[in-house]
Amino acid sequence: MSRKFFGTDGIRGRTNQGYMTAATAMRVGQAAGAHFMRGDHRHRVVIGKDTRLSGYMMESALVAGFTSVGMDVVMTGPLPTPAIALLTREMRADLGVMISASHNPYEDNGIKLFGPDGFKLSDEDELQIEALLEREPQLAAADSVGRARRIDDAAGRYIHAVKQSIADETRLDGLKVVVDCAHGAAYKVTPTAIWELGAEVIALGVAPDGTNINDGVGSTSIAALQARVMEEGADIGIALDGDADRLIVVDEKGQAVDGDQLMALIATRMADTGALNGGGVVATVMSNLGLERYLAGRGLTLERTKVGDRYVLERMKQGGFNIGGEQSGHMILLDHATTGDGTVAALCVLAALVAEGRPASDVLHLFDPVPQLLKNVRYSGGSPLDAGSVKQVIADAEAELSGKGRLVIRASGTEPLIRVMAEGDDAAQVEAVVDRICAAVQEAA
């Protein structure tokens, strides 16, 4: 069965267009509620959101959907995606929902679902929910309609949980940290957690107004963070995205540190203490060849999956790994969270900085990345990658890079984009290959 609603990370789209409407959200609540109404206990769903204006609309619609099929609803207000995963499990809920479009602009929104174990849903669960979306819902009797309530202590529960991810004796006294929350879901909890551990916190992106999420701030727009780190003479800067499940770091020199370097750091420290499971790290096809070479030099493996943290997590669970992630900053540390958690990853990095007693520029740059270039080509319809001319250019590029680099070309799962990435030891060759492919895709599109 083909997917109609779900992409690589839930349901996502432009607000009030396509499937991203209040009507669809209500139907998702009814379908997901029906799918998880198992057993004779009182059923419960936890719903969180980021700070988008449309979050109010989507939240209300989801509440209507879930309660109409007899499921009780607990609303947390703005909280990071990993907090909803955590609370779903801790509250013995049957389902968790996060309303967010992650790093996308405020005009977009999305719906992410978590099962009772706090993990994102399997493909099978999503397909079964899709099938229910096409049917008339079975509404609850009047005396069985669900109830809804808000809880006030959700933020405190999450702050307490993330602080447990580092050793009890670790304090961050003496560190000056710039924290960019992208005007998103973590605008209260992450600065508070870091401050409670003793650091001096300079907060950016902590004044959400419904329309400024990810606007010139956050993990996909780090110029403001880089400038502030330099201006304040800070030891380090951390940037989260809109729902705080990814992390990008800036060292004291203003240099960006991506997810590959962070995985190298955390995996190395875990391996040194015997805490690393699976003998290596799980990452996607987008991770730099330099990471793979670095890990191999330490006797560790890098297992690659297709793009999407759900696929990373799936392989981690299959192979018994406890660290995985994406170059873009999703960091999954299974000892502490069931999904990517930017705050947990940030605390691990800050703890390493304290333990090493060296500047971030030394601690966080463990390998030299192989020249890598990624470009996006936007298209309005059709399937540019199916064009014969594009296939030929790609085949020629693969032959040219054979043994000297890698080529990864894919359609985005969340936007109408073709992503073209190449890497190799020759930067000029990499750029030429990417430009040729992009030109072919653009012509076909």
Q: Which of 153, 182, 204 is the last residue of a domain?
A: 153
Q: Which of 363, 382, 407 is the last residue of a domain?
A: 363
End-to-end, the C-alpha distance of the chain in Å comes to: 27
Which residues sit opposite 111 in a β-bridge? 11, 99
Same-domain pairing of 106 and 185:
no
- Nearest in space to 103 (alpha carbons), one of 287, 239, 252: 239
Same-domain pairing of 228 and 308:
yes
**Single pTM value for the model:** 0.90
Tokens linked to 172: 């961050």
Same-domain pairing of 125 and 213:
no
Instruction: Read off the amino acid at residue 365.
Output: H
Same-domain pairing of 24 and 104:
yes
Same-domain pairing of 319 and 396:
no
Distance of alpha carbon 295 from alpha carbon 307, whole angstroms: 20
Does residue 169 belong to any structural domain of this protein? no
DSSP string, 274-318: T---TTEEEEETTS-HHHHHHHHHTT-EEEEE-SSHHHHHHHHHH
CATH for 284:
3.40.120.10
Does residue 33 belong to any structural domain of this protein? yes
Does residue 318 belong to any structural domain of this protein? yes
Predicted confidence at residue 2, as pLDDT, reads 62
Same-domain pairing of 138 and 214:
no
Same-domain pairing of 205 and 323:
yes
Same-domain pairing of 203 and 331:
yes
Predicted confidence at residue 7, as pLDDT, reads 81
Quick one: three-class SS letters along 20-63?
CCHHHHHHHHHHHHHHCCCCCCCCEEEEEECCCCCHHHHHHHHH
Domain count, the chain: 3
Q: Assess whether 102 carries a catalytic annotation.
A: yes
- Nearest in space to 225 (alpha carbons), one of 196, 203, 197: 203
Domain that includes residue 290, residue range? 174-363
Distance of alpha carbon 228 from alpha carbon 303, whole angstroms: 36
Q: Which of 123, 153, 183 is the last residue of a domain?
A: 153
Does residue 163 belong to any structural domain of this protein? no
Distance of alpha carbon 19 from alpha carbon 40, whole angstroms: 32
Rounded (10°) angle between helices 189-196 and 154-163: 50
Same-domain pairing of 200 and 344:
yes
- Nearest in space to 101 (alpha carbons), one of 214, 216, 197, 23: 214
- Give the side-chain half-sphere CA count within 13 A for 355: 15
- Nearest in space to 106 (alpha carbons), one of 17, 187, 184: 184
Same-domain pairing of 319 and 420:
no
Q: Is the dihedral angle over the CA atoms 62, 110, 82, 3 positive or is it negative?
A: positive
Does residue 426 belong to any structural domain of this protein? yes
- Which member of 102, 165, 287, 328 is catalytic? 102
Please classify residue 199 by burial: count the beta carbons closer than 10 Å to its beta carbon, then call 0-12 exposed, 13-18 middle and 19+ buried.
Answer: buried
In 9-47, which positions are buried (b, 16+ CB within 10 angstroms) versus exposed (e)? bbbbbbbeeebbbbebbbbbbbbbbbbbbeeeeebbbbb
DSSP string, 146-206: --EEE-S-HHHHHHHHHHTTS-TT---TT-EEEEE-TTSTTTTHHHHHHHHTT-EEEEES-
| DSSP element (H, E) containing 11 | strand 11-14
Predicted confidence at residue 402, as pLDDT, reads 83
pLDDT along the chain (445 residues), means of 10: 76 94 97 93 97 98 98 98 97 97 96 96 92 94 97 97 94 97 98 98 98 97 98 98 97 97 97 96 94 96 91 94 95 95 98 96 95 91 86 92 86 84 92 94 87
